[in-house]
């Protein structure tokens, strides 16, 4: 029995990894914006592969605000919450509150069931380029990165790459540092209203083949942070998907 368990794990994992060596869209990071982006692309039958550094998915959601596992949403995203099956209650004015664990569970379920393949424990450490275009990423095991072992990575090819790595905007910073095609301005302090408003405008293709979404989009364009409110992240993920869909189709 042990032998079959081992064979089942290795065989099924390697098949999926091989199937994702070339994909339509690579999303770096399985936080709220990355998951939403993947969900809306996969709904359109676009092949999506997410690489997530950590053991868990959900990015900054499980921690809620100061480890109180509640997150806030604006009324503009209630239709998305309904579509994903997330329950919420009205708090005050335009602000609604949801349980962060339920939010991650429902969103992850919908994203995976829509056909998105998530590989956790992989870190995106570089990009693949051809001429003036980003056309893939270079990945390695997070454990290799953390232990500073000298182990060479592998490359994954795609039509589009989405930087959904959050505050650190890691993929765009790699392109800035190595190629100088773009300039990452860096995130500004807290101003929730302005930060949320800027997110949609900031969600865009910043150089051929690379789209920024979620907190990475605000970090890229030097906009404000907003605290534990997630409406902008959801809308940004959706907008990134619409943008890529219109280019791919
Ligand atoms: C693979 C990577 C890499 C890498 C990072 O931080 P996230 O939740 O990102 P968003 O933009 O979807 O959501 C932001 C939100 O969670 C938040 O932080 C808010 C609202 N802050 C406001 C405030 O004022 O503080 O998720 C990013 C994910 C994480 O899971 C990382 O582990 C992962 O990306 N990641 N995965 N390769 N190089 N870098």
List the chain pLDDT tens, one digit each, 249 residues. Answer: 999 999 999 999 999 999 999 999 999 999 999 999 999 999 999 999 999 999 999 999 999 999 999 999 999 999 999 999 999 999 999 999 999 999 999 999 999 999 999 999 999 999 999 999 999 999 999 999 999 999 999 999 999 999 999 999 999 999 999 999 999 999 999 999 999 999 999 999 999 999 999 999 999 999 999 999 999 999 999 999 999 999 998
Q: Is residue 66, in this structure, part of any structural domain at all?
A: no
Q: Is residue 14, in this structure, part of any structural domain at all?
A: yes
Q: Is residue 71, in this structure, part of any structural domain at all?
A: no
- The total number of structural domains in the chain stands at 1
Q: Is residue 93, in this structure, part of any structural domain at all?
A: no
Q: Is residue 86, in this structure, part of any structural domain at all?
A: no
Q: Is residue 227, in this structure, part of any structural domain at all?
A: yes
Q: Partners of 129 in the beta sheet?
A: 134
CA angle 185-190-195, nearest 5°? 65
């051809």: which residue's tokens?
Answer: 130
**In whole angstroms, how far apart are CA 26 and each of 47, 49, 93, 220, 225?**
9, 5, 37, 19, 25
The alpha carbon of 7 and the centre of ligand 1 are apart by a number of angstroms equal to: 34
Q: Which two tokens stand for residue 248?
A: 């791919």
pTM: 0.98
Minimal-distance CA residue to ligand 1 atom 38:
124
Quick one: pLDDT at residue 89?
98
Q: Is residue 15, in this structure, part of any structural domain at all?
A: yes
SS (H, E, C) the chain: CHHHHHHHHHHHHHHHHHHCCEEEEEEECCCHHHHHHHHHHHHCCCCEEEEECCCCCCCCCCCCECCECEEEEEHHHHHHHHHHCCCCEEEECCEEEEEHHHHHHHHHHHHHHCCCEEEECEEEEEEEEECCEEEEEEEEEHHHHHCCCCCCCEEEEEEEEEECCHHHCHHHHHHHHHHCCCCCCCCEEECHHHHHHHHHHHCEEEECCEEECCHHHHHHHCCEECCCECHHHHHHHHHHHHHHHHHHC
51 lines ligand 1 (CB under 6 A): yes
Q: Which structural domain, as residue segments, surrounds residue 161?
A: 2-60+102-248
Quick one: pLDDT at residue 91?
98
Q: Is residue 234, in this structure, part of any structural domain at all?
A: yes
CATH number for position 121: 3.50.50.60
CA distance 197 to 153: 38
CA distance 224 to 66: 19
Quick one: pLDDT at residue 37?
98
The alpha carbon of 188 and the centre of ligand 1 are apart by a number of angstroms equal to: 16
123 lines ligand 1 (CB under 6 A): yes
């Amino acid at each position: 029995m042990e032998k079959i368990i081992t064979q089942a794990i290795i065989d099924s994992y390697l098949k999926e990894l091989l199937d994702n060596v070339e994909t339509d869209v690579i999303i770096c990071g399985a936080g709220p914006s990355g998951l939403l982006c993947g969900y809306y692309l996969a709904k359109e039958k676009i092949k999506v592969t997410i690489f997530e550094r950590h053991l868990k998915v959900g990015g900054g959601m499980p921690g809620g605000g100061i480890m109180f596992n509640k997150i806030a949403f604006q009324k503009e995203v209630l239709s998305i919450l309904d579509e994903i099956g997330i329950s919420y209650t009205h708090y005050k004015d335009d602000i609604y509150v949801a349980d962060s664990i339920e939010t991650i569970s429902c969103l992850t379920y919908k994203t995976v069931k829509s056909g998105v393949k998530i590989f956790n424990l992989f870190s995106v450490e570089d990009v693949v380029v051809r001429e003036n275009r980003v056309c893939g990423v270079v990945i390695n095991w997070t454990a290799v990165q953390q232990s500073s072992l000298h182990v060479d990575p592998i490359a994954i090819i795609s039509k589009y790459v989405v930087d959904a790595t959050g505050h650190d905007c890691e993929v765009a910073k790699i392109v800035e540092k190595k190629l100088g095609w773009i300039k990452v301005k860096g995130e500004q302090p807290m101003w929730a209203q302005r930060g949320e408003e800027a997110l949609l405008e900031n969600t865009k293709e910043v150089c051929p083949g690379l789209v920024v979404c979620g907190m990475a989009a605000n970090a890229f364009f030097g906009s404000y942070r907003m605290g534990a409110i997630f409406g902008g992240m959801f809308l940004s993920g959706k907008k990134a998907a619409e943008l890529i869909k219109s280019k791919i189709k």
